[in-house]
Structure formats: structure tokens, C-alpha cells
Chain A
């Protein structure tokens, strides 16, 4: 009975042609229709940041978008940030090494947020990092290790870009 639309959306480099009910959020589409359950839903009203994905390269809360709005757009979720199945992204490595997560529920949203942030600010201060993750709630860590992991990741990414000369 719900109105539906056909959409074509690229997620983590792969294009999907899907039919979606128009009232379904992007978050629920990613989780239930595409099976990408790495995108988490905490509050479902745009406060906790757990559902953050990259929409055309910019971080956005996927609980505050409709799947139908993603038609023709490019999305990256947490499943798409590592270069391959055996290699972690430097952010993931830094979070592992610095104990930047405990339960891990908020981590996908924090990492997607930080991918955009570190792309724009490769050499942030601690305060910059705290402001960047101010829209992501973590109830385990007290943020200390998240900030440490982010600064470490920034350093790793700077080294990586120097080595590749980009």
C-alpha cells in the first residue's frame, strides 16, 4: 500500500537498482534492503550520529534522509572505507591501536565523520577534533581515546600521503 519508487544508487562503489517505499529512510534502506548493517541507528532523530554516512563525499545523518533522495547519488558507508578485506583504513588501525572504542556502536558514525574531517583538516588540533565529533555520542569511552586515535590517524594519513606523493 505504501507508495514506492525505483532508485539507482551507488553504495561503496557498487550501483544498485532498487525499488523502495518512499517513506523509508536511507539508514533503513542501507541496513534492511542492502544488508549493510554497519550503519547503526541510535536515536533516529539526528542527535547521536551513529548513522552517519558519506553522501557524495560529505558526512550526513542517514536517519534524516529518505532512500528515494539518494537516487543518482554516491554513498559510502563504514563497510566501504577499508581498501580491501585484509587491510584496515588508517583510521580503523589507529582506533584499534588507541583503544578508541569499547562497545563499538558509535564507531561507524565516528569514522565516517572523521573521513571527511581529516580530508579537509589533515593536521587538526585536539580542539578541532573535539568539535568535529561533537555530533557523535559515545557512551563508553569518555572520548579521550577517540580523540587520541583521531590525532594518531591524522599523523598516519599525513605520512601515507607524503609517501605516495599525493
Chain B
């Protein structure tokens, strides 16, 4: 349970980090270490080189750019949790991040590390999917942007080339008057979700839904947007009976079968959690008492 032998590099600039990444063979980037370090300790990964990003300047920030919140890849989950800008402009992310691991892991864990590790039920991955985030990636030929919908290519595999690194993520925020909720089912607080649901809604003056985003995490290799449910909600008033009918269709989503839960159990959660999230989002939007 000790890390294997490797060469250690601690570059100070993104350009140097990318330079190392494109010249060294079998190199791994070390961000907050909350996933890579366990994998090193258990020797699931055996890199010849570890490139530590913790001393790279300019990768830790939370910037408001109009309706977009831009967050640097090395921003600690703690900094997101306690950011006033995140809480006001992107309350879904705030609610989700309090459910990420524990205080000790959020103090080190980073946004970029979580997205690149791409655990299928990681909360930040679902938030990025829910908000249609855009991921900035730096390589030796410059920077490119990836729509988050195109980011997961397979189980725990992001659409990043071996010589590229994630530098920032842009989260388009919803207008001030919107409803949001992030709910998840776990056996214990701080565990990865067995299934999670993120909901965002806007309603018109008569209470009819004009825009909706519904995301399920933990079902398959990456979070899924429930596009049909999002469409079906348009023009509807949020009401429990109606939501139960609409969300029933989610039972037919493919789901993994593993040690934590059988597929049928996840499919059951897929009908329940989005309904709860949408009801909570609606109550927040309309200012009704929280339950």
C-alpha cells in the first residue's frame, strides 16, 4: 500500500506542464490526489513520471464572466464550497459539492481532477453535464474547448489526448430566477452516489415550465441528460402526480449492475430521484416552504 517508484516533476507554468506531458513517456498528472494517490498506493497505476500540478500558477480561480462562471482546473473543491459567487450564481453546484466526499477530501480535491477522473457517479461530473459546461484543454498546439456532452468518451475516459491537460471549465449559469436541486442516494454521507439527480427549471408567470435540465448520475459510464423528460416538462406545471408519470419513462434507461446495487434498483431510483429533485427545484423557485 505504498506508491511505486516514479520520477517527480513540479512545473510552475501550464506551458511547462504541457511540455513535460508531451515529452515524458507514461506520465500521470497529479492534481488534488484524492483519486490518483489511492490508485498509486494500491498500484492500480504505475507511472514512470508524476507531474504535480499543485505548484502551477494561475490554475486556481473562480471568475464571473457575465452569465458564465469560469473555474480553474486546480481550484479546490473547498474553494467552490465556500465561494459566494458559486452560491449565488450557481446554487446547484454549491448543493452538489457539499455532497462530494468529506471535508478532508474537499480540502485537497480539485474540480479538474474530479472531471478528468470521471467517476460515473461523481457529483461535479453531473453538474457539468447539467449545466452544459465547456471544458478548456491545453496541449502543445494551444488550447481547445470541448462541450461537456462530448467530454466522456467511455468509462472513466475523458476526451483528452495523452499530451493535453484540462485548464479551466466554463459553467453557463441560469437566470437569477430558477429552481435547482441536487439529490442523491448513498448508503452513507460522503459516499459516491448510487444514483444522483440534478434538476434545473425555469417557469413562466403562470407556473408553466419553460426550460428544464434533468441529469442522472451513476446509471452508466457517464451522467445522462434525460432529454425526453426535459422536453415533456415544457408547458407543464410542476405537480407530483404529473411528475411521477413523466419520470416513469426513466425506468427504461440502461443501468449498471454492480456490488452496490442491481440495475433494476438503479432504474427504480431513476424514476424517483428526478421527481424529488424537480419538486425541490420548484419549491425553491416559487419560495414555498422547504420540506
Q: A60-B108, A113-B104 are in contact. Are A131 and B52 (CB under 8 A)?
A: no
B107 at the A interface (CB under 8 A): yes
Q: Decide: A131 near B41, CB < 8 A? Known: A25-B2, A66-B3, A113-B104.
A: no
Residues of the A chain whose Cβ atoms lie less than 8 Å from the Cβ of B103: 59, 113, 116-117, 132, 135
Q: How far is the CB of A125 from chain B (nearest CB, A)?
A: 14
Beyond A23-B6, A132-B103, whether A58 also contacts B38 by CB under 8 A is: no
How many residue pairs, one in A and one in B, have C-beta atoms under 8 Å apart? Answer: 93
Contact of A23 (CB < 8 Å), options: B3, B101, B104: B3
Chain B positions 35 through 70: 1 when the CB is less than 8 Å from some CB of chain A, otherwise 0: 001100110000000101010000000000000000
Question: A66 to chain B: which residues have CB within 8 Å?
Answer: 3, 8, 30, 33, 37, 52
**Contacting residues, chain B, for A25 (C-beta < 8 A):** 2-3, 37, 41
- Interchain CB contact under 8 A, A135 and B102: yes
Specify which chain A residues have a CB less than 8 angstroms from the CB of B52 in the assembled complex: 66, 68-69
Inter-chain contacts of B105 with A (CB < 8 A): 46, 61, 64, 135
B5 interface neighbour in A23, A63, A117, A132, Cβ under 8 Å: A23
What is the minimal beta-carbon distance from A34 to any residue of chain B, in angstroms? 17
Whether the Cβ atoms of A49 and B38 lie closer than 8 Å is no
Interfacial chain A residues near B188, Cβ < 8 Å: 134
Interface check B23, CB cutoff 8 A: no
Contact present for A135 and B3 (CB under 8 Å): no
A2 to chain B, nearest CB (A): 6
Query: From DSSP, what is the main secondary structure of chain A's interface residues?
Result: mixed
List B contacts of A88 (CB < 8 A).
none
Chain A residues near B7 (CB, 8 Å)?
3, 22
Interfacial residues of chain A within 1-42, with CB under 8 A of chain B in the complex = 1-3, 5, 22-25, 28
**B260 on the A face (CB < 8 A):** no
A65 within 8 A of B: yes
- In the complex, whether B4 has a CB less than 8 A from a CB of chain A is yes
State which size class the interface on A falls in.
20 to 34
* Residues on A with beta carbons closer than 8 Å to the beta carbon of B30: 66
CB of B40, distance to nearest CB on chain A (Å): 8
A112 and B6 CA atoms in complex are apart in Å by 30
Residue contact B41 to A63, C-beta cutoff 8 Å: yes
B1 at the interface (CB under 8 A from A): yes
Hey, which chain B residues are within 8 Å of A3, CB to CB?
Answer: 5-8
Residues in B102-131 with C-beta less than 8 Å from chain A: 102-105, 107-108
Q: Which of A23, A28, A68, A134 contacts B189 (CB under 8 A)?
A: A134
Q: Which 3 A-B pairs have the closest CB atoms?
A: A135-B102, A22-B8, A45-B38
Please give 17 more A-B residue pairs, beta carbons under 8 A apart, in addition to A63-B37, A64-B37, A135-B104.
A3-B5, A3-B7, A23-B5, A23-B8, A45-B37, A45-B38, A49-B102, A61-B108, A63-B41, A64-B108, A66-B3, A66-B30, A69-B52, A69-B54, A113-B104, A134-B102, A135-B103
Q: List 23 A-B contacts (CB under 8 A).
A: A1-B5, A3-B8, A22-B8, A23-B6, A24-B2, A45-B41, A46-B34, A46-B38, A49-B104, A52-B104, A59-B103, A64-B38, A64-B105, A65-B108, A66-B52, A68-B8, A68-B10, A68-B52, A116-B103, A134-B188, A134-B190, A135-B102, A135-B104
Question: Using a CB–CB distance below 8 Å, which chain B residues touch chain A?
Answer: 1-8, 10, 30, 33-34, 37-38, 41-42, 50, 52, 54, 78, 101-105, 107-108, 188-190
